[in-house]
Amino acid sequence: MSSRPQPEALANYHCEVGENPLWDDERQLVYWTDIPKGRLFRYDVRTGRHEQFYSGEPVGGFTIQTDGSLLLFRVNNMARLTADGRVEVLVNNIDAEMDRFNDVAADPEGRVFAGTIVSDDKRAGLFRVGLDGSFTLLFKGTGCSNGMGFSPDLKTFYWTCTTTGRIYGFDYHRATGEISNRRVVVQVPPDAGYADGMSVDSEGNIWSARWDGFALYKYSPAGKEIDRIQFPVAKVSSVVFGGANLDEMYVTTAGGKDGSDTADGTLYRLRSPVRGLPKFRSRVLLTR
C-alpha cells in the first residue's frame, strides 16, 4: 500500500451532516452543505478564509451552473442561488414520497442526476434532470440514494445505495443521459459502516467515504479495495478532488453538535496520491 496522506482540518462548523463538497475551479473555492441545519459554506484555498453564505431550507445536494450560480436541490424543490444571495425556486413539489434530496451530480452535458432519501422504507430513488428542468424518475427502491461519479472514459456511471451498502456501475449513454446494465461494483460488509459520498480519480479508482467507518476507501474500477485512509471522526460523508492541479481531496464529515469541542463535522484536506477528475457543471434552464 502507498504512503497514506494525513487529514488536515480546515474548518470546523460542527456540521450535523456535512455533505456534498464541490470544487469551483474558476473561483478556487470548496463549497459544502450542512443538510439539516440549512447551511452552505465555502473555503477559499488561496487565502484559507471560510464562511457560511446561505441559511434557509435544507440543501441535500447542489451543482455549480455554467453561469456560476448554484443549483440547489432542497426538501422538495429545485432552486437557483445567485452570486448576490438571491434564491429563486425553479421547480416545486417534485416527489411527495421523499423526505428530501440527498446527493446530486451533473453529467458532461449539463444534466443532473439527483437522488432522494426516505427515512422509513425504500421509496427513495434517482431522478435525471434535463436541461429544460424536467425530472425523469429512473428508479426507486432505496432508502438512501448517495454518491455518484463517472469513469474517466465517460462510459460508466457509478451510484451508491447506502441502504444495501453497494456501489453500482451502469452503462452511461452520454448523448441521451440514459443508464443501463446495472451491476454491483462494491459491496460493503454490514459491520463496516455505510457507503456514502464518492469521487473518481484520473486512473478510474473510486474513492468512497464511509459513514460510521472512520475512513475514506479507495477501490479499483473492478471493486477491489486498494487502500483506506483513517480519520479521527466516525462519520466520513463525502469527498471531492480540488486544488489547482486536482491533486487535493476535500472531505466532509458529520456528527457535530453546536457548542461541542469535538472534531465531528469538520472539513478536511488531504494531499492526494493521484489527480482527480473535474466535476461537471450543470446548465439546467440556461440558454447557453
* Nearest-angstrom CA–CA distance, 215 and 209: 7
* Nearest-angstrom CA–CA distance, 150 and 174: 11
Q: What is the number of other CB atoms lying within 10 angstroms of the CB of residue 258?
A: 9
* Nearest-angstrom CA–CA distance, 50 and 250: 14
Q: What is the number of other CB atoms lying within 10 angstroms of the CB of residue 275?
A: 15
First to last CA, the chain: 45
Cell numbers at 248, concatenated: 487535493
Q: What is the DSSP letter of 282?
A: B
Q: Which residues are catalytic?
A: 196
* Nearest-angstrom CA–CA distance, 32 and 41: 5
* Nearest-angstrom CA–CA distance, 101 and 89: 15
Q: Is 31 exposed, middle or buried (0-12, 13-18, 19+ CB in 10 A)?
A: buried
* Nearest-angstrom CA–CA distance, 143 and 161: 8
Q: What is the DSSP letter of 143?
A: S
CB 68 within 8 A of CB 281: no
